[in-house]
Chains A and B, each alone.
Chain A
């Protein structure tokens, strides 16, 4: 015990030298006094360490939560992104297939997620025909998702025809913007997990 307290004495001496605290004036003939003092210092150091670690853990947890929230929001955004169509067509465009694949993957990773696909048309053509066209566009996206393994009961389909244009006007740009499917999360959209 006495021999092993040598490093302790040295440590205490070192601590006393760089701790900034004046060493006690009285001589230290006994080992117990420096041990008690060193324990007090060690305790406060440990406490400081623990507090710092807790703070670091909390910050890390907060950051992780913020990251997860941002990721979930990003995932929700990917689910809700629109796809567009050519005039009088309901075929899924080549470029949009990857977009739908991603939606299918996110739905696969989140079994509670439900969506409603709404199909839209530009203002040209018969008002009633555009309801059928919008319906076809929504149905095409649903069929694609089902083909990627999404259960049909999780996907609702509705047509708004030309009744809810995104852009007003009679320009080609407005027409192109309005020929679209929109995806609305109707359930299970909180805390989305990314697909693996």
Chain B
């Protein structure tokens, strides 16, 4: 399959503009692997990524470009984009295909399984997906988009891309999401494709460990001040923020919202040590203490998606390792097994949105690497091996993980698809830290 696509594209390249080569994901993927020298868990399998052609048309090139990138980044498709003037738009076609305006035969010869039309339709865009095996459209929708200069334009196109992914795979895509992260001590927000990076806290204050509420409306983070460290709740739309009551004293960090959005678990550190507390949001009395550390620290809580359990870090056995407990603090037990004296420290757990996996980082020969813990199978799998890789966060599809890697010489946000091991970089101008991936944003 791959060779045929490459052969056909090479032929087109002799006549087509350079944009075709740049937009071909196979080349992008190969280049990335050569630079990374990472040990790939699993190999690229064309069979699991059906080919998809984005049919060229008039206007709305920006929409097509955004959708093409979104579908590429979903790692569910092998995306092919054809420039204007290729044989696919030739008028000399047989009956049904001419009516549909789609050259099913040509696209099938590229090894594609789907063709996606995006055409202007009044104030919006008509998206129509064709199944090439059966040579017919299988789904469509008309999306009303704001003007391209409008602040909500890109996110509206992302939602359209996510819907196309759902048509094919049954699960929506992750394009309409954002990542919060720390850079130069400030809290930033960026779209999942790397666009629109915006600071949310002012220069001169120090922000750390951000977390999204499940509805995407609030970001909790730790503000480190002179002698104090409250937890702040920031409204993502307006930017207004206020401290979480009860966190005026001591150091309060690593917040984690419960899946129902009603509670916030966090680490509270004072002279008695570090322990996990949970506060009821919207005013519900004093925070409840979940762990009693005495001579050990307990920190970095993360909820299971059913809200029943919390995974966290504890130093009760010496170096930090991953434990779990019920959401009320009872039934505490070791979660991720380790060899005492041999296994490196483990930190920064995050439970996947489907509950199947807990991602965390663990030191191997002195460098942190991203690991996945299979909850049901009780198995640990190492995901990275080159450079220092830490602080993983899950995309809402439960398959992509963003994390910080310094393999390029500077701490950057990288995104890996845990099924195909394909990686891409989310560029930030400074050293990025502590990423948090939002749920799908409405």
- A88-B319 contact in complex given A126-B368, A126-B390, A132-B269, C-beta closer than 8 Å: yes
- A163-B347 contact in complex given A126-B390, A129-B313, C-beta closer than 8 Å: no
Pairwise interchain contact A127-B185, C-beta atoms closer than 8 A = no
A 120-147 to B, binary, CB cutoff 8 A, 1 in contact else 0 = 0000011111011001101100110000
Is B173 close to A, CB under 8 A?
no
Pairwise interchain contact B271-A139, C-beta atoms closer than 8 A = yes
Is A158 close to B, CB under 8 A?
yes
Q: Which of A88, A142, A143, A159 contacts B251 (CB 8 A)?
A: A159
Can you name the residue of chain A whose Cβ is closest to the Cβ of B360?
Answer: A126
Is B93 close to A, CB under 8 A?
no
Pairwise interchain contact B391-A127, C-beta atoms closer than 8 A = yes
Pairwise interchain contact B297-A126, C-beta atoms closer than 8 A = no
Can you name the residue of chain B whose Cβ is closest to the Cβ of A117?
Answer: B271
Bound CA span A135–B224, Å: 13
Is B327 close to A, CB under 8 A?
no
Q: Is the interface on chain B under 10, 10 to 19, 20 to 34, or 35 or more residues?
A: 35 or more
Is B156 close to A, CB under 8 A?
no
- A135-B273 contact in complex given A128-B253, A128-B254, A163-B224, C-beta closer than 8 Å: yes
- A126-B361 contact in complex given A135-B251, A158-B229, A160-B224, C-beta closer than 8 Å: yes
Q: Which of A118, A129, A132, A157 contacts B271 (CB 8 A)?
A: A157
Interface residues of A in 36-63 (CB under 8 A from B): none
Interface residues of B in 343-363 (CB under 8 A from A): 345, 347-348, 361
Pairwise interchain contact A129-B347, C-beta atoms closer than 8 A = yes
Is B339 close to A, CB under 8 A?
no
Tally of contacts, chain A with chain B, CB under 8 A: 88
Chain A residues lying within 8 Å of B315, measured Cβ to Cβ, are 132
Chain A residues lying within 8 Å of B396, measured Cβ to Cβ, are none
Pairwise interchain contact A128-B390, C-beta atoms closer than 8 A = no
Chain B residues lying within 8 Å of A78, measured Cβ to Cβ, are none
Q: Is the interface on chain A under 10, 10 to 19, 20 to 34, or 35 or more residues?
A: 20 to 34
A 156-168 to B, binary, CB cutoff 8 A, 1 in contact else 0 = 1111110100000
B 292-316 to A, binary, CB cutoff 8 A, 1 in contact else 0 = 0000010110000000000001010
Q: Which of B208, B250, B274 contacts A136 (CB 8 A)?
A: B274
Pairwise interchain contact B273-A136, C-beta atoms closer than 8 A = yes
Chain A residues lying within 8 Å of B433, measured Cβ to Cβ, are 127
Is A116 close to B, CB under 8 A?
yes
Bound CA span A156–B269, Å: 12
Chain B residues lying within 8 Å of A163, measured Cβ to Cβ, are 185, 206, 208, 224
Chain A residues lying within 8 Å of B273, measured Cβ to Cβ, are 132, 135-136, 139
**Contacts A126-B345, A127-B391, A139-B271 supplied; 18 other A-B pairs, CB < 8 Å:** A116-B227, A126-B300, A126-B348, A126-B361, A126-B391, A129-B345, A129-B348, A131-B208, A131-B251, A132-B267, A132-B273, A135-B251, A135-B270, A135-B273, A138-B271, A157-B250, A158-B251, A159-B269
Pairs A-B, 10 closest by C-beta atoms: A126-B347, A135-B269, A132-B274, A157-B271, A139-B271, A132-B297, A159-B251, A128-B254, A129-B347, A132-B299
15 intermolecular pairs with C-beta atoms under 8 Å apart = A126-B320, A127-B208, A128-B209, A128-B253, A128-B434, A129-B320, A131-B251, A131-B253, A132-B315, A136-B274, A139-B271, A159-B229, A159-B251, A163-B208, A186-B227
B interface residue numbers (CB < 8 A to A): 185, 206, 208-209, 224, 227-229, 250-251, 253-254, 267, 269-274, 297, 299-300, 313, 315, 319-320, 345, 347-348, 361, 368, 390-391, 433-434
A interface residue numbers (CB < 8 A to B): 88, 116, 118, 125-129, 131-132, 135-136, 138-139, 142-143, 152, 156-161, 163, 186
